[in-house]
């Protein structure tokens, strides 16, 4: 009897050892607060992302794809700004990129310290389904292939590919087996794929066992360029990436962008957001993580910003007004030159980047703006400080980046250690 029990114990121990050994080699999508070896930053011509790259170089390795002939220009500019240029690696390219850095390759790792890249399929945020972008598609495919090749050659990790379309800005993970996805985004990107089929693919590729589906993203992040949101309010976006409105700050705490009722009464954009976030909040409150544990849901304020109000003018001397007017009139046939419109930037306190020592977050107050804007910036900062007490919270004005349809998190991608 004792011999039988001993053999049984040895058998169970061997199974557990085998399982643990196998699990060490399983790749997973790490949480952003896990140790990193570097950060990729795109869009160095943008003031906010340039400042981000400059500050990052003082604490970690920074990688950025730039046109080959402009490498020396960027190095000098970064050096003049006080960057540690020894930590900056510029990846030479023959062409520029017009989509966010996070929406390319994803980095996964295993407990044994190995890495791999995930290359989801790409259809330029769903634009391939729009006839007006037909002439743009082939050029975009070529750019995307170059983008992929540059990253594979730079980081030299094995690559796993998927036929499912997904973007890094649309995925949020707690690093423990639970991810958040946005139903309106994923279904638009993959019209021939059921939600169940997407879940199967995500679990296989990302090695997750729990997927929580939120309904819709922020109103400031609509689909396309010069897109009508409501009335005469327009925006630029990708239909609701999750990093604009909902983020993990630890494996069991989720921040959600949430305007209050008083704000929503006087602002049609915040009114839409309040309605959408109530639905998302209820989903999260009723959800559980991979272990069946409920989440701590924290409401994050929504920035107070002045929407850009102007009359449509396709020959304006103001380049931004000219560009936006052309886009709006191209997309919206019910509007005419001279009509007054409001442009809504994709502003958010949740489009932040977590690194080894710092959390980089948006701020909006500048001299001459109401003190209430400054107070919100500080409130958002203190919420992050509560959950990252050992990190510096470094705020960057992202007004320019937001006007172009993104934020600090969109234009960066952490590389796990």
**Which class for 319: exposed (0-12), middle (13-18), buried (19 or more C-beta within 10 A)?**
exposed
Strand 115-121: give its sheet, edge to edge.
106-109, 115-121, 159-165
Q: How many structural domains comprise the chain?
A: 1
Residue 320 lies in a domain: no
Q: What percent of the chain shows pLDDT beyond 70?
A: 94
Structural domain includes residue 287: yes
pLDDT at 3: 56
What range defines the domain where residue 102 resides?
Answer: 30-307+344-416
Task: Over range 161-183, report the average pLDDT.
Answer: 97
Q: Which residue has the higher pLDDT, 302 or 25?
A: 302
pLDDT of 24: 57
Contact 126, 239 (CB under 8 A): yes
The CATH number covering residue 92 comes to 3.75.10.10
Q: Could you say which DSSP state residue 323 is in?
A: H
Q: Is residue 321 part of a domain?
A: no
What is the SS3 assignment for 20?
A: helix
Torsion of CA 4, 8, 13, 18, to 10 degrees: 130
pLDDT, the chain, mean: 92
Split at pLDDT 50, 70, 90, the class of 19 is very low
- Give the model's confidence band at 1: pLDDT under 50 very low, under 70 low, under 90 confident, else very high: low
Assess if residue 99 is contained within a domain. Answer: yes
Give tens-digit pLDDT for 301-352: 999 988 999 999 999 999 989 999 998 998 888 999 999 999 999 999 999 9
What value does the mean pLDDT take over residues 85-107? 90
Whether residue 10 is contained in a domain is answered as no
Q: For the chain, report the end-to-end CA distance as a whole number of angstroms.
A: 49
Smallest CA-to-CA distance from 31 within 223, 360, 253 is with 253
pLDDT tens readout for residues 192-238:
999 999 999 999 999 999 999 999 999 999 998 889 999 999 999 99
List the one residue out of 136, 70, 63, 67 whose CA is nearest residue 95. 67
The token duo for 396 is 């960057």
Are residues 232 and 245 in contact, defined by beta-carbon separation less than 8 angstroms? no
Query: What count of other Cβ atoms lies within 10 Å of the Cβ of residue 221?
Result: 32
> Residue 299: inside a domain, yes or no?
yes
What span, in angstroms and rounded, lies between the C-alpha atoms of 247 and 258?
Answer: 12
Q: Is residue 11 part of a domain?
A: no
> DSSP letter at 177?
S
Identify the bridge partners of residue 256 per DSSP, sorted by sequence position.
246, 299
Give the residue-averaged pLDDT of 85-92. Answer: 96
Express as a percent the part of the chain with pLDDT over 90.
Answer: 82
**Is position 259 within any domain?**
yes
The Cα angle at residue 61 between residues 60 and 62, in degrees rounded to 5: 115
Whether 218 and 227 have beta carbons less than 8 Å apart is answered as no
Strands 223-230 vs 210-214: parallel, antiparallel or unpaired: unpaired
Helix (H) or strand (E) holding 72: helix 71-80
């Amino acid at each position: 009897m004792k011999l039988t029990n001993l053999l049984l114990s040895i058998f169970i121990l061997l199974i557990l050892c085998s399982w643990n050994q196998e699990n060490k080699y399983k790749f997973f999508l790490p949480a952003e607060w896990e140790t990193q070896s570097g950060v990729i930053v795109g869009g160095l011509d943008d003031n906010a992302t340039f400042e981000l790259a400059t500050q990052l170089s003082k604490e970690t390795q920074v990688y950025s794809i730039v046109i080959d002939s402009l490498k020396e220009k960027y190095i000098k500019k970064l050096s003049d700004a006080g960057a540690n240029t020894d930590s900056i690696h510029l990846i030479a390219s023959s062409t520029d990129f017009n989509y966010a850095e996070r929406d390319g390759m994803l980095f996964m790792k295993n407990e044994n310290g190995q890495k791999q890249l995930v290359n989801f399929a790409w259809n330029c945020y769903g634009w391939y389904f729009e006839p007006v972008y037909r002439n743009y598609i082939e050029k975009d495919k070529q750019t995307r292939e170059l983008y992929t090749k540059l990253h594979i050659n730079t980081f030299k990790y094995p690559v796993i590919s998927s036929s499912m379309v997904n973007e890094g800005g649309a995925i949020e993970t707690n690093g423990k087996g639970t991810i958040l996805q946005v139903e309106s985004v994923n279904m638009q990107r993959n019209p021939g794929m059921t939600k169940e089929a997407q879940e199967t693919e995500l679990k296989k590729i990302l090695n997750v066992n729990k997927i929580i589906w939120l309904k819709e993203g922020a109103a400031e992040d609509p689909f396309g360029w010069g897109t009508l949101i409501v009335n005469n309010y327009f925006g630029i976006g990708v239909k609701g990436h999750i990093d604009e409105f909902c983020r993990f700050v630890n494996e069991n705490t989720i921040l959600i962008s949430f305007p209050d009722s008083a704000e929503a009464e006087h602002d049609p954009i915040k009114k839409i957001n309040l309605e959408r976030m109530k639905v998302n909040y209820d989903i999260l409150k009723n959800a559980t993580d991979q272990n069946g544990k409920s989440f701590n849901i924290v409401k994050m304020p929504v920035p107070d910003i002045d929407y850009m109000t102007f009359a449509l003018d396709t020959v304006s001397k103001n380049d931004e007004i000219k560009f936006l007017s052309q886009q709006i009139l191209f997309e919206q046939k019910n509007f005419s030159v001279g009509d007054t419109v409001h442009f809504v930037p994709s502003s958010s306190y949740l489009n932040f980047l977590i690194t080894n020592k710092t959390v980089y977050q948006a701020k909006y107050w500048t001299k001459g703006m109401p003190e209430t804007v400054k107070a919100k910036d500080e409130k958002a900062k203190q919420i992050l400080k509560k959950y990252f007490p050992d990190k510096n919270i470094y705020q960057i004005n992202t007004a320019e980046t937001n006007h172009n349809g993104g934020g600090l998190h969109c234009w960066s991608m952490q590389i796990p250690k």
